[in-house]
Amino acid sequence: MTLDTTGVLPMMAALVTLHAVRYLLAAGGAWLFFWSWKSNPWTKAKRLQAVDFTRADVLREVWTSLRSALVFGTLFGVVYAGLPIVKLEQKGVGAALEFSAWLLFLLVVHDTYFYWAHRFAHHPRVYGWLHSVHHQSRNPSPFAALSFGTLDAVVQVVWAVPIVRFVPVPSLVWLVFSFLAIAINVMGHCGVEPWPVSWQRHPVLKWLNFATMHNQHHLQVRGNYGLYSSAWDRWMGTLLS
Ligand SMILES: [Zn+2]
Ligand SMILES: [Zn+2]
């Protein structure tokens, strides 16, 4: 597989813009819904920390997140340039099944990768220079979703590079996955538990990862390393109680 270098810069520009705009829409939307409407009864009843966000925290989160969008777009500009669009092979119901199977594949791979990379990032030998930027937010706002140091931002997405290059995941699945990923990420940082608390004890739904769990991760700076599910935390004994 050869790389068409003539398309690298336009692809980078397009992907940096996509990542930045998508982040601003997702985080900004969550901010408007949960936090700009001061008397929002949902937020009043279900906010996770009593303290308010500081202006300095939010500005830092926006800046470091936009920097991550720049890193993501630059990296994937190189990776995607010259690659053809991969279409679904099936039609009708078969296409829906094919789409769902690929989407589940990406969610499972990313969930597993994220748990172990995140757990590694908390090792005392690497935490300070790799992951501490994300934890400058002890009370994260929705804007903290992509708030990473530059190297941490690379670690966040590098798992996708060999899959993009060597696994024929349809382009539409990647697009939907990337929107889903930022939506779930923002939800994990929205400062409010959007789902009923009873779900955290439900025999099936408890396997999801909840905003409550990730907020606890920011408070305690350990445990609850999961992203989409709490499965690895449960299996490896890192779930905070
Ligand atoms: Zn962490
Ligand atoms: Zn976080």
Ligand number, closest to the Cα atom of 238: 1
Distance 131 CA to ligand 1 centre (A): 7
Q: What is the mean pLDDT of residues 189-202?
A: 93
Virtual torsion, Cα 31, 37, 38, 42, nearest 10 deg: -80
- Per-domain residue ranges of the chain: 5-236
Distance 111 CA to ligand 2 centre (A): 14
Phi, psi of 213 (to 5 degrees): -70, -45
Please state the separation of Cα 132 from the chain's center in Å.
17
The token pair that represents 217 in the structure block: 């991760």
* Residue 101 burial class via C-beta count within 10 angstroms: exposed 0-12, middle 13-18, buried 19 and up: exposed
Distance 9 CA to ligand 2 centre (A): 31
Report residue 52's pLDDT band, with 50, 70 and 90 as the boundaries: confident
Distance 62 CA to ligand 2 centre (A): 14
Cα(118)–Cα(23) distance, rounded to whole angstroms? Answer: 21
Distance 212 CA to ligand 2 centre (A): 11
Distance 14 CA to ligand 1 centre (A): 29
CB-side neighbour CA atoms (13 Å) of 119: 16
pLDDT tens column, 139-186: 999 999 999 999 999 999 999 999 999 999 999 999 999 999 999 999
pLDDT tens column, 80-129: 888 889 999 989 999 999 999 999 999 999 999 999 999 999 999 999 99
Among 37-41, 169-173, 197-201, the range scoring the smallest mean pLDDT is 37-41
At 1 the three-state DSSP class reads coil
Distance 1 CA to ligand 2 centre (A): 36
- Bridge partners of 160? none
Say what percent of the chain tops pLDDT 70: 97
Check residue 50 and give its pLDDT.
86
CB proximity list for 30: less than 8 A, separation 6 or greater: 142, 186, 187, 190
Distance 142 CA to ligand 2 centre (A): 9
Which residue type is seen at 103?
L
Report residue 44's pLDDT band, with 50, 70 and 90 as the boundaries: confident
Distance 23 CA to ligand 2 centre (A): 14
pLDDT at 4 over 60: no
